[in-house]
């Protein structure tokens, strides 16, 4: 098992029926139902990705003064510098705004700080350099919201500053010409989940005449889509519209009639990764494009990625794309080495230091530790803080686990930090070496309070439990595409199926991945478990397992087959355990799926067998037994192998209709026949009416 706890959402059969009646296929309807979407109107709103979802850019606080100042700079020929961050969001935001300003003939340059030498955000040395270059207006993208001193310094040098950002705001905002951030407390913008590149896009649209807005949106949606996915922003509402438009434009750009010269650097990178031969979606961006663009910033070469996205020289773009892929491979090797070191260190840490993991080292690569922190947070189910030491100073990257809010924790302990910024789930900070020990103690204390001293556990949240593999058809899986694009706020649907048997297993991809063939009922299914081995998962041929998976269509030599992409495996429950869980669900009044209701609804033959047994064995003193023994004895007497759960439902129906007195629970039943009980219609029992209703489509 990779996850200590599986949280399987309760099915919503009534919602599924309503959604299917509106034309939504069964698997997709089941997912929407467990996610709280119960009506056709709610489904239509959730699945909507039209451009009408875009909000008025001038609804953002300070957009009007920002536009006025930028238009003045364009009209008078003042030199403008776009100052960005070195991650994918910042790089795409920088390139989007620079390209737009070039198109409107602005005198524009750009600056992305070196991650390793300068660190995050505005810095005075960079501002001095830009002042010497004659910059009169500085526009930040994806940074600047906490740069109070730096903006004041720029102002002292005669540089006006317009800030566009989306990170958490502190109490005091910089005294800039304009501060555009949907997370400002005084900002009433209705969609607070824009990425940094999303805010840059809103600024470009605000600077665009009304008649040209659609063209500008289409042109820059690809860059906005890449940055939004890479920064793990919720893919709902306005972000969903941006992503879908961006994906459409990217796919159109890959059409055969589009020449390489017209495609630009983004398409060159797509070709270099091999994505030009596949269907591009949000997963393609997140797992193929974003890591290569991000590698440039992490390895201290962010300007290479920016140059790739800005160049119109396709030969130069080809060279840059190859460099980014090489940097990504180098980043992966460094990341793996740091990860192994961190794991060895964590395993020897005392328990009091393991509620929040604070690690420091002078030899770690500052550009890579954020990714390692994310992997460690997943592995250990803890918030992780990794600090790269340089003499007496340290630069830290942290990643959260669960609902542990990093920004709030860093803000509450700012007295130990030199600086900090970021989000609830990911943040950065600088700290003096002498404060790290105290910082470690405080972070562990914060985590201990947050989880009330209990050990946090890794959890898997499953949308739908499937009972019948017959529903896993190519058509049903293809129909899940209506739920796309997937990402934060709309994850790819996760399913599970219990009691599957491993028919065969092998290792592929140089032994890095596990390929299995699983059986449920009479159907066999192919499965792949990436970055897992049979030994790690503790499985072998013949094992009975529960599987958690996403679904895909595998195509090989023109043949399409269903494939489970495994997320976790655990020892399979026995049928008795499954029945017990199902009965507890029924007794607690939780909604049952059609399959679940059918599984515990007794038939006439079972009613008759239970009654005949009771009539024969329950004398004047009644009958005492466990449910398991009782079901075995009935099976032996009448050759009827009814599940214990259905035997218990039979008893409850008899008691409800006045045929028996029933006391105790499954571990100790006390049953007495009621004297003088007449003939009754068992099907009119309220229990049976509810079960029959739940089992109907």
Tokens of 407: 């920004």
Is residue 55 pLDDT above 70, yes or no? yes
Taking the CB of residue 614, how many other CB atoms lie within 10 A of it? 21
Higher pLDDT, 120 or 499: 499
User: Contact, 251 vs 280, CB < 8 A?
Assistant: yes
Q: How do residues 74-88 score in pLDDT, each as one tens digit?
A: 999 999 999 999 999
Q: How far is it, in rounded angstroms, from Cα 646 to Cα 603? A: 9
Q: Is 504 helix (H, G, I), strand (E, B) or coil?
A: strand
Residue 362, pLDDT score: 94
User: Contact, 321 vs 265, CB < 8 A?
Assistant: yes
Tokens of 638: 């009448």
Q: How far is it, in rounded angstroms, from Cα 445 to Cα 695? A: 50
**Hey, which of 314-318, 372-376, 629-633 has the most confident mean pLDDT?**
372-376
Structure pTM?
0.79
Q: Mean pLDDT throughout 555-581?
A: 84
Cis peptide bond upstream of 682, omega within 30: no
Phi-psi region at 510: left, alpha or beta (left = phi > 0; alpha = psi -120 to 50): left
Euclidean distance between the first and the last CA atom of the chain, given in angstroms as a whole number: 34
Is residue 18 pLDDT above 50, yes or no? yes
CATH of domain 5-47+463-571: 2.40.50.460
The residue among 74, 204, 209 whose CA lies nearest residue 137 is 74
Q: How far is it, in rounded angstroms, from Cα 614 to Cα 608? A: 10
The residue among 527, 568, 519 whose CA lies nearest residue 547 is 568
Q: How far is it, in rounded angstroms, from Cα 657 to Cα 666? A: 20
Question: What is residue 274's DSSP assignment?
Answer: T
Residue 182, pLDDT score: 97
Tokens of 485: 């694009």
Residue 263, pLDDT score: 54
Is residue 172 pLDDT above 80, yes or no? yes
Q: How far is it, in rounded angstroms, from Cα 243 to Cα 226? A: 8
User: Contact, 25 vs 479, CB < 8 A?
Assistant: yes
User: Contact, 652 vs 587, CB < 8 A?
Assistant: no
Reported as a pLDDT band with limits 50, 70 and 90, residue 260 is very low
Least confidently predicted of 147-156, 590-599, 664-673: 590-599
Reported as a pLDDT band with limits 50, 70 and 90, residue 292 is very high
Tokens of 449: 């309070």
Tokens of 468: 């019948």
Is residue 118 pLDDT above 60, yes or no? yes
Residue 572, pLDDT score: 87
For the chain, the domains span 5-47+463-571, 53-243, 254-332, 349-458, 577-695
Question: What b/e sequence results for 322-338 when a residue is b if at least 16 CB atoms lie within 10 Å of its CB, and e otherwise?
Answer: ebbbebbeebeebbeeb
Is residue 13 pLDDT above 90, yes or no? no
C-alpha dist (Å) from residue 255 to 158, 225, 265, 633: 48, 19, 15, 69
User: Contact, 291 vs 229, CB < 8 A?
Assistant: no
Is residue 259 pLDDT above 60, yes or no? no
The class that CATH gives domain 349-458 is alpha beta
Phi-psi region at 456: left, alpha or beta (left = phi > 0; alpha = psi -120 to 50): beta
Residue 230, pLDDT score: 93
Q: Mean pLDDT throughout 342-353?
A: 92
User: Contact, 199 vs 220, CB < 8 A?
Assistant: no
Is residue 458 pLDDT above 60, yes or no? yes
C-alpha dist (Å) from residue 4 to 17, 348, 405, 464: 33, 21, 22, 18
Residue in this structure with the two tokens 């069964």, named with its chain if needed: 26
Reported as a pLDDT band with limits 50, 70 and 90, residue 655 is very high
Q: How do residues 28-50 score in pLDDT, each as one tens digit?
A: 999 999 999 999 999 999 888 88
Residue in this structure with the two tokens 């008795």, named with its chain if needed: 576
Q: How far is it, in rounded angstroms, from Cα 225 to Cα 412? A: 34
The residue among 474, 487, 543 whose CA lies nearest residue 514 is 543
Beta strand spans in 316-409 (E): 357-361, 384-390, 393-399
Q: Is 273 helix (H, G, I), strand (E, B) or coil?
A: coil
Q: How far is it, in rounded angstroms, from Cα 171 to Cα 131? A: 28
Residue 256, pLDDT score: 57
Residue 200, pLDDT score: 98
Q: How far is it, in rounded angstroms, from Cα 58 to Cα 407? A: 28
Tokens of 687: 């229990």
Q: What is the DSSP string of 166-231?
A: -SPP-SSPP--SEEE-TT-TT---S-TT--HHHHHHHHHHHTS-GGGHHHHHHHHHHHHHHHHHHT
Q: How far is it, in rounded angstroms, from Cα 293 to Cα 308? A: 9
Tokens of 489: 């706020």
The residue among 476, 496, 495, 492 whose CA lies nearest residue 484 is 492
CATH of domain 577-695: 1.10.10.10
Q: What is 53-243's CATH topology?
A: inorganic pyrophosphatase (n-terminal core) (3.90.1640)
Taking the CB of residue 693, how many other CB atoms lie within 10 A of it? 11
């Amino acid at each position: 098992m990779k996850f200590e706890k599986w949280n399987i959402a309760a099915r919503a059969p009534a919602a599924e029926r309503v959604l299917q009646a509106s034309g939504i296929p069964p698997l997709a309807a089941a997912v929407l139902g467990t996610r709280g979407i119960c009506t056709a109107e709610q489904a239509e709103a959730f699945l909507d990705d039209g451009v009408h979802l875009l909000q008025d850019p001038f609804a953002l606080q300070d957009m009007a003064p920002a536009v006025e100042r930028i238009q003045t700079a364009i009209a008078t020929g003042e030199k403008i510098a776009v100052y960005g961050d070195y991650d994918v969001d910042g790089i795409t935001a920088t390139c989007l705004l620079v390209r737009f300003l070039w198109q409107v003939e602005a005198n524009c340059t750009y600056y992305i700080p070196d991650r390793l030498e300068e660190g995050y955000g505005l810095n005075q040395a960079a501002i001095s350099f830009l002042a010497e270059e004659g910059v009169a207006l500085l526009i930040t993208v994806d940074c600047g919201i906490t740069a109070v001193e730096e903006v004041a310094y720029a102002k002292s040098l005669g540089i006006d500053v317009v800030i566009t950002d989306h990170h958490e705001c502190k109490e005091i905002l910089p005294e800039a010409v304009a501060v555009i951030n949907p997370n400002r407390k005084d900002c009433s913008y209705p969609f607070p989940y824009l990425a940094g590149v999303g805010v840059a896009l809103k600024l470009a649209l605000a600077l665009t005449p009304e008649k040209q807005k659609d063209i500008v949106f289409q042109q820059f949606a690809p860059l906005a889509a890449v940055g939004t996915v890479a920064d793990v922003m919720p893919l709902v509402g306005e972000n969903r519209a941006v992503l879908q438009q961006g994906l459409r434009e990217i796919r159109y750009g890959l059409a055969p009639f589009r020449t390489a010269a017209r495609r630009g650097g983004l398409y060159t990178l797509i070709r270099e990764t091999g994505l030009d031969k596949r269907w591009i979606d949000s997963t393609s961006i997140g797992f193929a494009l974003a890591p290569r663009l991000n590698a440039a910033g992490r390895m201290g070469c962010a300007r290479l990625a920016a140059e790739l996205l800005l160049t119109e020289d396709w030969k130069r773009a080809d060279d840059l794309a190859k460099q980014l892929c090489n940097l990504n491979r180098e980043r992966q090797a460094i990341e793996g080495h740091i990860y192994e070191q961190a794991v060895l260190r964590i395993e020897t840490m005392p328990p009091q230091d393991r509620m929040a993991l604070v690690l420091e080292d002078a030899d770690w690569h500052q550009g890579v530790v954020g990714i390692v922190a994310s992997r460690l947070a997943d592995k250990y189910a803890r918030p992780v803080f990794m600090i790269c030491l340089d003499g007496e100073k340290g630069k830290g990257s942290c990643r959260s686990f669960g609902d542990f809010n990093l920004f709030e924790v860093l803000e509450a302990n700012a007295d130990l930090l030199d600086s900090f910024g970021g989000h609830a789930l990911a943040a950065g900070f600088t700290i003096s070496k002498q404060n790290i020990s105290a910082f470690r103690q405080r972070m562990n204390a914060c985590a201990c309070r947050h989880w009330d001293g209990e050990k946090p556990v890794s959890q898997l949240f499953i949308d739908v439990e499937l009972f019948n593999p017959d529903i896993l058809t190519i058509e049903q899986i293809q129909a899940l595409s209506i739920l796309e694009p997937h990402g934060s706020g709309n994850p790819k649907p996760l399913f599970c199926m219990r009691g599957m048997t491993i028919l065969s297993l092998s290792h592929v991809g140089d032994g890095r991945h596990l390929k299995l063939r699983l059986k449920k009922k009479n159907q066999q299914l192919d499965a792949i478990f990436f970055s897992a081995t049979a030994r790690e998962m503790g499985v072998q041929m013949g094992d009975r397992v529960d599987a958690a998976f996403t679904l895909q269509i595998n195509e090989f030599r023109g043949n399409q087959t269903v494939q489970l992409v495994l997320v976790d495996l655990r020892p399979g429950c026995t049928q008795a355990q499954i029945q017990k869980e199902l009965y507890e669900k029924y007794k607690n009044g939780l909604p049952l799926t059609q399959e679940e209701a059918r599984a515990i609804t007794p038939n006439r033959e079972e009613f008759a067998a239970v009654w005949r047994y009771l009539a024969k064995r329950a004398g004047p003193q009644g009958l005492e037994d466990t449910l398991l023994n009782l079901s075995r004895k009935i099976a032996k007497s009448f050759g009827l192998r009814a599940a214990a759960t259905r035997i218990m439902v039979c008893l409850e129906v008899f008691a409800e209709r006045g045929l028996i007195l029933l006391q105790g629970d499954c571990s100790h039943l006390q049953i007495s026949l009621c004297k003088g009980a007449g003939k009754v219609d068992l099907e009119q029992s309220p229990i049976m009416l509810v079960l029959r209703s739940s089992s109907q489509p």
